[in-house]
């Protein structure tokens, strides 16, 4: 196995507003400030960057220069199809003009993916969904969700598109809300260059086992990327990976290893009140413990226990490997 690469969403190093601290939790930062901070993380190789670039007017070249200075690459570009203009949806907006603008913005993001030689265009359709009963025609919005992604994937066959599903927020209910529904949509579209970005936190607060979700996406050949973080299971808290559900996170990585899934382990955390560099370092240190624990895991004994559905036997093996490495 090659050396494990770690990544992070560049927003990890930004500052945030919410509906209470409307003045923000820190002074505003530009994407260049965020890249400089990302460069201080001990073992970060790549970042996922929002498009358009925040905090100023920057060209791809400006971004590249800043990234090169920190020896960082780009794993994905995330077009911002969830801002005010798209508050009633990007792919599913009732206004065809807004749907077209979403398409055009994502098409620009495709050029950025080519420029940076990134792995994927990340689609996070956070505003595509509904809030109230009777608000939408469910058949129409689901069809538009699939048509919008399908059109982009067929127009850009050289690129990979990932859909990051999430149950809710900002929309009370998102269309791409679960692993199963997202896979159904992707399979119905039927193109090879659309996959899932599995966010561990989105899966678990949606009531899924992230390990099971990963296996399902892998079985369909659709696991193209992943994000890690943690939450209390009732909201997308985006806390530090491993802080709350270490054993489930370990099982998730075990499933990836078992299937020889090789890709970046990417942080999607929001350190509202914490130091962003320290938070990223802490998460990566924990992920490295998981990496070591995977090497220590007695896979033969685990398979034997699993073949009998021996819960306590399997847990003992997993816990022994994990907790001795933390």
Residues in contact with Fe ion by CB under 5 A are 199, 227, 236, 268
- Which pair of structure tokens corresponds to residue 132? 């109230």
Place of tokens 């899966």: 203
Sole residue written with tokens 């940076």: 116
The residue among 216 and 226 lying less far from Fe ion, judged by its C-beta, is 226
Minimum CB separation from Fe ion for residue 49, in Å? 14
CB burial readout 240-259, b (16+ within 10 A) else e: bbbbbbbeebbbbbbbbbbe
Nearer to Fe ion, 251 or 268 (CB): 268
Q: Where are the alpha helices (DSSP H) in the chain?
A: 31-38, 60-69, 96-116, 138-155, 179-189, 200-205, 210-219, 246-258, 276-296, 299-307, 311-323
Rank residues 195 and 318 by Cβ distance to Fe ion and give the closer one.
195
Cβ neighbors of 312 (< 8 A, separation 6 or more) are none
Name the token pair of 279.
């938070």
Which residues 6+ apart lie within 8 Å of 83 measured at CB? none
129-130 vs 73-79, strand pairing mode? unpaired
Cβ(225)–Cβ(252) below 8 Å = no
Least distance between Fe ion and beta carbon 199 (Å): 4
Residue 123: name the closest of 168, 89, 164 by CA: 164
User: Whose Cβ is closer to Fe ion: residue 128's or residue 227's?
Assistant: 227
Cβ 10 to Fe ion shortest distance, Å = 12
Q: What is the largest CA-CA distance in the chain?
A: 59
User: Nearest distance from residue 164's CB to Fe ion, in Å?
Assistant: 5
Q: Which two tokens stand for residue 41?
A: 């993380």
> Of 153 and 196, which has the nearer Cβ to Fe ion?
196
Rounded least distance, CB 230 to Fe ion, Å? 11
Q: How many helices (H) and strands (E) does the chain have?
A: 11, 10
Token duo for residue 268: 């999607």
Closer CB to Fe ion, 150 or 225, in the complex: 225
Please report how close the Cβ of residue 133 comes to Fe ion at its closest, in angstroms.
25
Nearest residue (CB) to Fe ion, 33 versus 199: 199
Partners of 195 in beta bridges: 162
Instruction: Please report how close the Cβ of residue 246 comes to Fe ion at its closest, in angstroms.
Output: 19
Could you tell me the smallest distance in angstroms from the CB atom of residue 63 to Fe ion?
20
């Amino acid at each position: 196995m090659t050396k494990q690469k770690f990544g992070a969403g560049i927003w990890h190093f930004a500052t945030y507003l919410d509906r209470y601290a409307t003045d923000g939790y820190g002074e505003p930062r530009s994407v260049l400030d965020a890249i400089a901070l990302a460069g201080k993380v001990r073992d970060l190789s790549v970042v996922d960057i929002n498009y358009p670039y925040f905090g100023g007017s920057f060209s791809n070249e400006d971004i590249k220069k800043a990234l090169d200075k920190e020896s960082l690459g780009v794993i994905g570009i995330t077009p911002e199809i969830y801002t005010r203009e798209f508050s009633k949806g990007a792919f599913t907006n009732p206004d065809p003009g807004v749907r077209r603008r979403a398409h055009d913005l994502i098409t620009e993001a495709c050029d950025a993916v080519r420029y940076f030689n990134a792995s994927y265009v990340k689609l996070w359709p956070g505003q595509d969904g509904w809030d109230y009963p009777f608000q939408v025609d469910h058949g129409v919005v689901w069809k538009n969700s699939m048509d919008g992604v399908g059109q982009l994937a067929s127009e850009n066959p050289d690129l990979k598109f990932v859909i990051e599903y999430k149950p809710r927020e900002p929309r009370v209910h998102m269309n791409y809300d679960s692993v199963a529904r997202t896979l159904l949509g992707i399979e119905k579209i039927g193109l090879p260059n659309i996959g899932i970005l599995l966010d561990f936190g989105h899966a678990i607060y949606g009531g899924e086992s992230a390990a099971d979700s990963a296996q399902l996406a892998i079985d369909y050949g659709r696991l193209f990327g992943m994000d890690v973080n943690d939450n209390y299971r009732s909201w997308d808290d985006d806390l530090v990976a491993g802080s709350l559900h270490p054993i489930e996170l370990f099982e998730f990585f075990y499933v990836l290893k078992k299937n020889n899934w090789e890709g970046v382990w990417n942080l999607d955390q929001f350190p509202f009140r914490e130091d962003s560099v320290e938070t990223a370092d802490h998460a990566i240190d924990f992920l490295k413990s998981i990496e070591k624990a995977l090497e220590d895991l007695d896979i033969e004994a685990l398979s034997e226990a699993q073949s009998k559905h021996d819960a306590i036997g399997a847990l003992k093996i997993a816990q022994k490997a994990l907790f001795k490495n933390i």
